[in-house]
Amino acid sequence: MQALKNLIVQMADDAFIIGHRNSEWTGIGPILEEDIAFSSMAQDKIGHAQALYEIIHTEMGGTSPDVFAFKREEKEFMCCQLVELPIGDYAFSLMRHFLYDHCDSLRYELLSGSSYSPLANLAKKIKGELKYHTLHADTWIKKLSRGNEESNIRIQAALNEVYPYALGMFEITAGENEIISEKIFAGELELKKLWIEKTSAIIELCGLKIPVVKDSEIKNGGRHGYHTEYLEPMLNEMREVIGADYNTEW
């Protein structure tokens, strides 16, 4: 089923790209604990991507995870535009982390009951790891929003900037109704509803304001191969070593 494969590719590409983005904080985090935390979460994300790419390889006759991850062109990636953006300042990365990981956590919670057993089994494992990711994000969003006037202003500014991209996580692709009817996944609209309920409660508790975003302002396109100017340079950098000789066996 192409719709199922698309769902898995979207999830895998999101995790793969944001994992690499978060890894860029390694060695430059504001404090040692955060340096370690972001590095650890980045490693988890890339591990999640590899596991999803492996399902495509073993269950759907696709290429190996390494080939699938590194040998596709930019337009073949189905990640949302949110994950492609440069890390920015720490407030930006934390807000992206908060919005993305709550979506990720809720998605895997829904998928743990999927009729497609390879995805359901993986979801049951990954959703446990994501509890620590959302706990980390919640802790820092609360801490910064309540810290002082400057930290509150900066975290609100990050929310304003990131939110239109975050809404692009729920971009609908062909086969959505089929995925829902086959009880593989509850669908992007259901996930979006749960995500808004979850994140809005925390955002409001922190005294922050959710920006009003018009439908025309939502950063869609990534699921259909339309990406920001940042993805292709990032992919070129990521595959610089393997690209020197794609036929080498590591």
| Spatial separation of the C-alpha atoms in residues 45 and 179, rounded to whole Å | 24
Q: Which residues contact 56 (CB under 8 A, 6 or more apart)?
A: 5, 8, 9, 12, 62, 68
Confidence band of 246 (pLDDT split at 50, 70, 90) = low
Q: So what's the pLDDT on residue 250?
A: 56
Q: So what's the pLDDT on residue 244?
A: 60
**pTM value?**
0.94
Residue labelled with tokens 């988890």: 44
Relative orientation angle of helices 2-23 and 231-238, to the nearest 10 degrees: 80
Cβ atoms within 10 Å of 49's Cβ, excluding its own: 24
- Which two three-digit tokens encode residue 179? 């995925």
Q: What percent of the chain has pLDDT over 90?
A: 84
Q: Which of 29-38, 80-89, 139-148, 234-243 has the lowest mean pLDDT?
A: 29-38
Confidence band of 62 (pLDDT split at 50, 70, 90) = confident
Q: Once rounded to an integer, what is the mean pLDDT over residues 42-57?
A: 96
- Which two three-digit tokens encode residue 82? 């949110």
Confidence band of 248 (pLDDT split at 50, 70, 90) = low
Q: Once rounded to an integer, what is the mean pLDDT over residues 168-185?
A: 96
Q: So what's the pLDDT on residue 245?
A: 63
Is the per-residue pLDDT at 20 higher than 60? yes
| Spatial separation of the C-alpha atoms in residues 44 and 110, rounded to whole Å | 19
Q: So what's the pLDDT on residue 35?
A: 75
Cβ atoms within 10 Å of 149's Cβ, excluding its own: 7
Residue 143 contacts residue 207 (beta carbons within 8 Å): no
Fold of 2-244: Ferritin (1.20.1260)
| Spatial separation of the C-alpha atoms in residues 127 and 106, rounded to whole Å | 8
Is the per-residue pLDDT at 61 higher than 60? yes
Cβ atoms within 10 Å of 199's Cβ, excluding its own: 22
The domain limits of the chain are 2-244
Is the per-residue pLDDT at 29 higher than 70? no
Residue 78 contacts residue 225 (beta carbons within 8 Å): yes
